[in-house]
Amino acid sequence: MNGFLPMSLEEIQELGWQQPDFLFISGDAYVDHPSFGPAVISRVLEAEGYKVAMLCQPDWHDLRNFEVLGKPRLGVLISGGNLDSMLCHYTAARKPRREDKYSPGKAMGLRPDHATVVYARKAKELWPDLPVVIGGIEASLRRFAHYDYWEDKLLPSILVDSGADLLVYGMGEKQVQEIADYLAGGARGADLQYINGTAYLTKDLSLLENYVELPALEAIKQDRKLYARAYALQAAEQDPFYGRHVVQKNGSQYVVQNPPVLPLTEAEMDFVYDLPYTRRWHPRYDADGGIAALEEVQFSIVSSRGCFGSCAFCAIHAHQGRIIQARSHASIINEAKKIIAMPEFKGYIHDVGGPTANFRHPSCQKQLKLGVCKDRQCLFPEPCPNLDADHSDYVSLLRELRALPGVKKVFIRSGIRYDYLLADKKQEFLDELCRYHVSGQLKIAPEHVAEPVLACMGKPGKDVYLKFVGAFNKKNKEVGLEQYLVPYFISSHPGCTLHNAIELAEFLRDTGHTPEQVQDFIPTPGSAATAMYYSGINPFTGKPVFVTRNPHEKAMQRALMQYKNPRNRSLVLEALHLGHREDLIGHGPKCLVHPHYDDDRPGREYRHGAAGGRTGRPASKFR
């Protein structure tokens, strides 16, 4: 064998197996790297003595493609992939994407929409007696009734649509070990309903005690505001130390979410990441040019997981938890040595981090005994007085990595929270960051500057961002380096009015920044911002939130962020007129656009149509 888990009947026979214990069906191509969930879960099971075969991106049009590796002995495990399959397929404008980095040669069309649902139905059709367990980000964040942006409708729990016996939410290593042991001991699907970190369907709640019931699917369909209520209720129960069972009626059945699992200890984290990953895509993809997603992480190291930043538009904290879990220095150094030994390694470790690179320990000490606070965030609206803002361990780790023979540079690319950095009184990390860990440009994510929008996002104010910009520039001048910040901003986030979008455009003008890329808000399942988008209510305050849903209005907000682009001129002009900000149209230094559509033909009439372009109808002359 070539070190990979088997992907073909020939590879299974080469290993001498009569049949696999588990068949893992994935919407992604098989990449044996710890940044890819299917590889992690399968390697964990392998380490526990189970035989796992990988069935990746099967052609779902023919049921026979699901039995090519034979019937597994214990069950079928299913993941839609590292991303939600709908996000893989469609843009914020609901248009098909041109490439899929998790497929060989970036080819599109190798997985279906709602991949987890399609695969689970096929597995149940083929082997109705086998337990089918779904997991991964798609299943995890669609475990309750949820809004699907691309279909623009409310969908039931993915358990209902898929017919799966059990859903694993969160990262899943602990749950899958327990599931495997139960099944190996003779348990069936219905016997698995007592495992923390899982969810299941039932018609009988009589044996359940101390649970929280969410508004039912049918009730939410009648009243969108109940979606925000449902989100707030379930979000309050996602802590492993005090979270209760959460129940929601979907049709004639109830979704029951068991309490979350405890965070992994350092030893457990080390166990997961020390497994014998080849750190490569399976050789069968060589002829297609391999898997592009690996290139971004092949020489990167996951040092931690979890995030207490809790940004409203992000669901990482809902999937990985708010309590930081970190690996030991020894485990990370050992992985770095494996990377250094790879023939393709050129001396550059591309990243050492996690969802937020500079989160290396829980935000306060009480979390490992009592859990996170139910009624407050660690960093928003300002850092908690109990926040342990200390980068000492991270700085020490980075120094050890830099000292390894063969390492030229260690970059930090997974993003940092600059408000957390500024809260560290020692400021040692900023010095080390600028001296050693920036590749000319550092990506940060202020996301917006208007206070109402930042309040909905759960992000710090503009003044905090500007304070960091000043500190970063001062430090670079001090160390004699010319390095730049690349800020990321989101358009059309819930709470963002046209006036707020114009305010952001003015800020970009005043700071001299022109974003090369703009992220239009995408309401992905499982996030607080999606609850705002669908319901028009902030789930944490209960107050109404302005939401931009019209595609043309969204296009105007997006265009304002790139107002210098000639292609955006008509949209920007329309936005400024609608916002009664004609003072920003002209030739002065504070103006965003010139008054004429075509600068090469002064005096040309700009004709304003409903879509922001030129029309054949009479129009106002914007001078």
* Domain stop point among 166, 182, 200: 200
State yes or no: pLDDT of 446 exceeds 60. Answer: yes
433 domain-assigned: yes
In the 3-class helix/strand/coil scheme, how is 443-496 assigned residue by residue? EEEEECCCHHHHHHHCCCCHHHHHHHHHHHHHHHHHHCCCCEEEEEEEECCCCC
516 domain-assigned: no
Confidence (pTM):
0.92
Same domain, 13 and 158: yes
40 CB-contact burial (10 Å; exposed 0-12 / middle 13-18 / buried 19+):
buried
CATH number at residue 147: 3.40.50.2300
Average pLDDT estimate for 550-565: 95
State yes or no: pLDDT of 559 exceeds 70. Answer: yes
**Structure token digits, residue 529:** 């911002």
Same domain, 195 and 66: yes
Same domain, 306 and 186: no
Same domain, 185 and 331: no
Q: Which of 211-215, 420-424, 441-445 has the lowest mean pLDDT?
A: 441-445
Instruction: State the pLDDT at residue 487.
Output: 93
Q: What CA–CA distance (Å, rounded) separates 233 from 226?
A: 10
Average pLDDT estimate for 59-75: 97
**614 falls in which pLDDT band (50, 70, 90)?**
very low
Question: 3 by DSSP, 3-state: which?
Answer: coil
Same domain, 33 and 165: yes
**613 falls in which pLDDT band (50, 70, 90)?**
very low
Instruction: State the pLDDT at residue 226.
Output: 98
Contact (Cβ atoms closer than 8 angstroms) between residue 120 and residue 85: no
Same domain, 159 and 34: yes
Contact (Cβ atoms closer than 8 angstroms) between residue 621 and residue 606: yes
Same domain, 303 and 196: no
Same domain, 19 and 136: yes
Instruction: State the pLDDT at residue 1.
Output: 53
Q: What CA–CA distance (Å, rounded) separates 426 from 148?
A: 45
| 601 compared with 345, residue with greater pLDDT | 345
| 89 compared with 1, residue with greater pLDDT | 89
Q: Give percent of the chain above pLDDT 90.
A: 90
State yes or no: pLDDT of 608 exceeds 70. Answer: no
Same domain, 193 and 328: no
**607 falls in which pLDDT band (50, 70, 90)?**
very low
Same domain, 40 and 175: yes
379 domain-assigned: yes
Instruction: State the pLDDT at residue 406.
Output: 97
Range of the domain at 434: 299-439
Contacts of 108 (CB under 8 A, 6+ apart): 89, 96, 97, 98, 99, 100
Contact (Cβ atoms closer than 8 angstroms) between residue 591 and residue 584: yes
Q: Which of 218-222, 498-502, 595-599 has the lowest mean pLDDT?
A: 595-599
State yes or no: pLDDT of 611 exceeds 70. Answer: no
| 190 compared with 71, residue with greater pLDDT | 71
* Domain stop point among 439, 455, 478: 439
- Which tens digits make up the pLDDT trace of 10-33? 999 999 999 999 999 999 999 999
Same domain, 80 and 188: yes
Average pLDDT over all residues of the chain: 93
Looking at the 3D structure of the chain, how many domains does it have? 2
Average pLDDT estimate for 521-544: 96
Q: Give percent of the chain above pLDDT 70.
A: 95
582 domain-assigned: no
287 domain-assigned: no
**246 falls in which pLDDT band (50, 70, 90)?**
very high
533 domain-assigned: no
Q: What CA–CA distance (Å, rounded) separates 302 from 82?
A: 15
Determine the distance from the C-alpha atom of residue 169 to the mean position of all C-alpha atoms in its chain, rounded to a whole number: 14
Same domain, 67 and 195: yes
Question: Strands 245-250, 211-213: parallel, antiparallel or unpaired by DSSP?
Answer: parallel
32 domain-assigned: yes
Instruction: State the pLDDT at residue 415.
Output: 86
* Domain stop point among 151, 177, 200: 200
Average pLDDT estimate for 154-165: 98
389 domain-assigned: yes
CATH number at residue 394: 3.30.750.210
Instruction: State the pLDDT at residue 600.
Output: 41
Instruction: State the pLDDT at residue 622.
Output: 23
